[in-house]
Amino acid sequence: MNKIWLVIKREYLTRVRNKTFLLSTILLPIVIILFILGSVFFAAKSIDSKKKIAIDDRSGFLSKHLRPDTNRIQVFFNTGVDTNTYAQKGFDGFMFPVDSAGRHFLLRTPKAASRETMERLQNSLNNAYVSNFLLEKNISVRELDSINKISASYFEVTNIDDKNKSVSGTVNSSIGFLSGILIYITMFIFGAMVMRGVMEEKTNRIAEVIVSSVKPFQLMMGKILGIGAVGLTQLLLWFVLLFVISSAASAFLPADVMQQVQQIQSNPSMMNANAAQYSGLAKGIASFSSLNWTIILASFIFYFIGGFLFYSSLFAAVGSVVNEDPQEAQSLMLPIMMPIIFGFIIMSSNLETPDSPVMVWASIIPFTSPIVMMSRIPSGPPFWELALSMVSLVIGFILTTWFAGKVYRTGILLYGKKAGWKEIFKWLRKA
Amino acid sequence: MPILELQNLKKYFSNQKAVDDISFNIEKGSIFGLLGPNGAGKTTLIRMITGIFYPDEGQIIFDGKKFNPVNDVVHIGYMPEERGLYKKMKIGEQAMYLAQLKGVKKDEAFKKIKDWFIRFEMESWWNKKVEDLSKGMSQKLQFVTTVLHEPKLIILDEPFSGLDPVNTNLIKDEIYKMAKRGATIIFSTHRMEQVEEICDHIILINKGKKILDGTVKQVKQDFKENLFSVGLEQQQTNFNGMAPFEVVGSLNENMVVRIKENHKPNDVLQFLLQQGSHIHSFNEILPSLNEIFIKLVEGTPLSRQFQNN
């Protein structure tokens, strides 16, 4: 036990003190933050510029009913510009009718207008028509205003569960997807890290010295646990850094940009969303906070560690049979990577039906359970399924570490030639 | 009392009998030569002694008790032929790590490493990385990490390869010192002149079997061919048939003679004196281990072919 601890300590310290570890730990959150900031900045920029559009309104209908200044579009009627001169007069576009009924317009712009602009323009035109239609039916302007107000938010449906708590399938599946994808990515990154780590003894030709002091199984477990601890540290540092940098960045952003971002956040109707969506978001936030976070966090940690142990020992077995050349590992890694990818596909294609038979089975079989079960947790799977899944994952990683230990014993002292799966199973029977 | 007793040790691989029924004892404090051509099974044998492999059959008795790899490996130091250290690790930390893996306490390990580094003039290396060392330097480091925990049994596989004569002597002296203090050394090499110089006892294995076992002196006696080199003042090659020897050649202007059966060296001297020859030297020529090795192993291919059984 003491020796495993020594191995863990060395694996952990040599990696954490490495410059590349520091670099990747610090750089990744910075890149992510810069990316987010950049896109927010440009989004805010694009809000700034209101499109000025000149309209040739021969019938006079639009000038009567179309509000001249709406959401980011400003319209000007009968300005006397034409298709050749609109740009010179400072307009972004020129719109004119092409049929006699005045229902089909052409919008002339220097370049294709954005989808948003086109949608807004069409909506405004159609709203103007509806308003006019209602006014003609002797509905007063005041009534019309109140109709517009209530139409979007008169009725409201809230989904509650048997415990009288408000729930949201959308929130559940997005939290589930997020944790599933996090486990998926970390399993790949840290699995590959373990594989390279195991090859270290071979490339440095020190395997024989080490296994004459430590049992191969102790060495392997020490390496897996040490590298796992490095991964956990990195994950934690990323979270902390993301939090620190994002709160620091918000303090340094120009005030007007922040204001606009806040406007977008607090008033989704600005983003072409209606009031229904707004209340949906509110409901989402309510069910977000009603989720059982203790269970979600606890099972995330369990499935993260369980999945890591299950797969990293398989990656360790592969690492022990290949030589210095990482290319050799590719063909041996494929059978290990397949179930991980498979689990991810099952999860993402069945997100909306967390209790379907495929999901239930995939969340119990340990090859896919870390990813799939994690995506089901927010929607509260039956207790027995969760228990069965956890027990089978524990049994699963005991089996894979046992298997890897056998392969590792033989593989680590093997130089010069790469073993295939057939040979590996032969060792399994012998060792 | 022997430190190590091997009893009918066997290790078969699927296509090869790597070690096939080998038994021998190694006395405490001796320097023991384990010889054999490439592929004879030396590495497999050593791996069983160091607890890396389990024997298929047979027993290993270490220091009077049945060998228990988990506890006994701390009393063994092994320097394999395949040299290696963590290249990216600092030298001091590396030595500390390897010592602690052998069960040496942290502060004790630190003191001992300092000690060795001073003795080997390596003090300034502590914070260097292995990749910055020359081959000879890393060899010295490897030797230090092998013996740092003061093992009762030290196994050295080709310890002098890649070392200059100065460093070779440095390490040779340490080996003698350790043997004097009671440590036992198993020395595996192809360099027969080194074996002759250093080892007390040797065994020779070939094709997984032991084919020779004895002290260096005894082995040489066993394989001697009654050859003597005789230095005479006046060169003389023709002796009558009555001579108790026959001339078989010359060596450094001395003639080499083989004593006929049922005769003693004294008979030769007597005969020569009667002849009136002036003798200024008379030496027995013992076979070198190199010759014995080649003689015993010859006829088997250098690297053992896989057997089909």
Residue A107 CA to residue B214 CA, distance in Å, equals: 106
Q: Is A6 on the interface with B (CB under 8 A)?
A: yes
Statement: residue B133 has pLDDT above 80: yes
| Interface contact B98-A212, CB threshold 8 A | no
Q: Out of A6, A212, A215, whose CB is closest to B78?
A: A212
- Model pLDDT for residues A290-330, shown as the tens digit of each residue: 667 788 888 888 998 899 999 999 999 888 888 766 677 78
Domain interval for residue A118: 50-151
Q: Is B107 domain-assigned?
A: yes
Same domain as B258, residue B112: no
Q: Is A196 domain-assigned?
A: yes
Residue of A nearest to B93 (CA): A10
Is B229 in contact with B254 (CB distance < 8 Å)?
yes
Radius of gyration of chain B (CA): 24
Same domain as B85, residue B61: yes
Q: In this predicted structure, what is the pLDDT of residue A56?
A: 84
Statement: residue A89 has pLDDT above 60: yes
Same domain as A144, residue A210: no
The residues with which B249 forms a beta bridge, in sequence order, are B256
Statement: residue A284 has pLDDT above 80: no
Distance from CA of A3 to the nearest CA of B (A): 6
Distance from CA of A19 to the nearest CA of B (A): 12
DSSP string, B211-280: EEEEEHHHHHHHT---EEEEEESS------TT-SEEEEEEETTEEEEEEPTT--HHHHHHHHHHTT--EE
User: DSSP 3-state assignment of A315?
Assistant: helix
Residue A175 CA to residue B70 CA, distance in Å, equals: 48
Residue A244 CA to residue B197 CA, distance in Å, equals: 69
Same domain as A171, residue A125: no
Same domain as B182, residue B242: no
Q: Is A212 on the interface with B (CB under 8 A)?
A: yes
Q: Is A2 domain-assigned?
A: no
Interface of B with A in 224-253 (CB under 8 A): none
> Could you tell me the pLDDT band of residue A374, with boundaries at 50, 70 and 90?
confident
User: DSSP 3-state assignment of A390?
Assistant: helix
Residue A406 CA to residue A51 CA, distance in Å, equals: 70
Q: Is B51 on the interface with A (CB under 8 A)?
A: yes
* A94 token code pair: 């020129």
Statement: residue B308 has pLDDT above 50: no
Q: In this predicted structure, what is the pLDDT of residue B143?
A: 92
Q: In this predicted structure, what is the pLDDT of residue A261?
A: 55
The DSSP output letter for B174 is H
Q: Is the dihedral of CA A110, A114, A115, A119 positive or negative?
A: negative
Q: In this predicted structure, what is the pLDDT of residue A285?
A: 59
Q: Is B301 domain-assigned?
A: no
- Domain tally for chain B? 2
Mean of pLDDT over chain B: 86
Statement: residue B251 has pLDDT above 50: yes
Q: Is A41 domain-assigned?
A: no
The string over B63-95, giving b where at least 16 C-beta atoms fall within 10 Å of a residue's C-beta and e elsewhere, is beeebebeebbbbbbbbbeebbbbbebbbbbbb
Same domain as B191, residue B82: yes
Interface of A with B in 397-416 (CB under 8 A): 413, 415
Residue B99 CA to residue B110 CA, distance in Å, equals: 9
Same domain as A200, residue A68: no
Q: In this predicted structure, what is the pLDDT of residue A272?
A: 42
Q: Which residue is associated with the tokens 């602009």?
A: A117
Statement: residue A274 has pLDDT above 50: no
Same domain as A347, residue A228: yes
| Interface contact A205-B73, CB threshold 8 A | no
Distance from CA of A397 to the nearest CA of B (A): 25
Q: Is A42 on the interface with B (CB under 8 A)?
A: no
* A292 token code pair: 């059982």
Residue B77 CA to residue B153 CA, distance in Å, equals: 6
Q: In this predicted structure, what is the pLDDT of residue B304?
A: 44
Within 8 A of A426 by CB-CB distance, chain B residues are 14
- Cα–chain center distance at B214: 12
Statement: residue A208 has pLDDT above 70: yes
Within 8 A of A206 by CB-CB distance, chain B residues are 84-86
Residue B162 CA to residue B171 CA, distance in Å, equals: 12
Q: In this predicted structure, what is the pLDDT of residue B156?
A: 93
Cβ burial, residue B162 (10 Å; 0-12/13-18/19+): middle
Is A374 in contact with A183 (CB distance < 8 Å)?
yes
Same domain as A230, residue A116: no
Same domain as B251, residue B121: no
Task: Write phi, then psi, for B307 (nearest 5 degrees).
Answer: -90, 150
Contacts of A263 (CB under 8 A, 6+ apart): A270
Q: What is the largest CA-CA distance in chain B?
A: 77
Is B96 in contact with B163 (CB distance < 8 Å)?
no
Distance from CA of B50 to the nearest CA of A (A): 6
Residue A40 CA to residue A263 CA, distance in Å, equals: 12
Residue of B nearest to A4 (CA): B101
Q: In this predicted structure, what is the pLDDT of residue A73?
A: 80
Same domain as B77, residue B213: yes
Statement: residue B303 has pLDDT above 80: no
Residue A369 CA to residue B307 CA, distance in Å, equals: 48
Picking from A386, A16, A412, the residue whose alpha carbon sits closest to that of residue A201 is A412
- Domain tally for chain A? 2
A interface test, pick of B45, B67, B83, B101 with most A CB neighbours within 10 Å: B101
Q: In this predicted structure, what is the pLDDT of residue A49?
A: 67
Work out the average pLDDT over B126-130. 89
- Cα–chain center distance at B77: 16
| Interface contact A212-B73, CB threshold 8 A | yes
Picking from B88, B105, B100, the residue whose alpha carbon sits closest to that of residue B145 is B100
Q: Which has the minimum average pLDDT: A160-174, A222-236, B1-15, B93-107?
A: A160-174
Same domain as B39, residue B63: yes
Same domain as B47, residue B101: yes
Residue B158 CA to residue B187 CA, distance in Å, equals: 7
Q: Is B296 domain-assigned?
A: no
B259: number of CA atoms within 13 Å, CB side? 23
Is A172 in contact with A354 (CB distance < 8 Å)?
yes
Q: Is B157 domain-assigned?
A: yes
The residues with which B79 forms a beta bridge, in sequence order, are B156
Mean of pLDDT over chain A: 80
- Domain end, chosen from A97, A128, A151, is at A151
Question: For residues A240 and A79, which has the higher predicted lDDT (pLDDT)?
Answer: A240
DSSP string, A185-196: HHHHHHHHHHHH
- Domain end, chosen from B191, B221, B251, is at B221
* A46 token code pair: 């694009």
Work out the average pLDDT over B210-235. 85
Statement: residue A207 has pLDDT above 70: yes
Statement: residue A210 has pLDDT above 70: yes
Q: Which residue is associated with the tokens 């701390």?
A: B74
CATH number of residue A86's parent domain: 3.40.190.10
Same domain as A275, residue A194: yes
Q: Using alpha carbons, list the distances in angstroms from residue B230 to A342, B4, B238, B242, B267.
A: 86, 43, 14, 18, 13
How far the first Cα of chain B sits from its last, in Å, is: 38
What's the CA angle centered on B35, arms B32 and B39, to 5 degrees?
Answer: 140
User: DSSP 3-state assignment of A56?
Assistant: coil
Q: Out of A3, A204, A209, whose CB is closest to B87?
A: A204
Residue A422 CA to residue A261 CA, distance in Å, equals: 59
Task: Write phi, then psi, for B287 (nearest 5 degrees).
Answer: -65, 145
Q: Out of B52, B70, B85, whose CB is closest to A206?
A: B85
Domain interval for residue B263: 225-285
Statement: residue A114 has pLDDT above 70: yes
| Interface contact B101-A3, CB threshold 8 A | yes
- Model pLDDT for residues B18-54, shown as the tens digit of each residue: 888 999 999 998 999 999 888 888 888 998 998 888 8
Task: Write phi, then psi, for A72 (nearest 5 degrees).
Answer: 60, 10
Q: Is A423 on the interface with B (CB under 8 A)?
A: no
If you count DSSP H runs as helices and E runs as strands, how many of each does chain A have, helices first? 16, 5
> Could you tell me the pLDDT band of residue B275, with boundaries at 50, 70 and 90?
confident
Q: Is B158 on the interface with A (CB under 8 A)?
A: no
- Domain end, chosen from A104, A119, A151, is at A151
Statement: residue B307 has pLDDT above 50: no
Q: Is A175 domain-assigned?
A: yes
Q: In this predicted structure, what is the pLDDT of residue A269?
A: 43
Statement: residue A266 has pLDDT above 60: no
Q: Is B45 on the interface with A (CB under 8 A)?
A: no
Q: Is A358 domain-assigned?
A: yes
- Domain end, chosen from A119, A151, A183, is at A151
Q: Out of B74, B83, B89, whose CB is closest to A14?
A: B89
H or E segment and range at residue B19:
strand B16-27
Residue of A nearest to B99 (CA): A213
Work out the average pLDDT over B97-122. 92
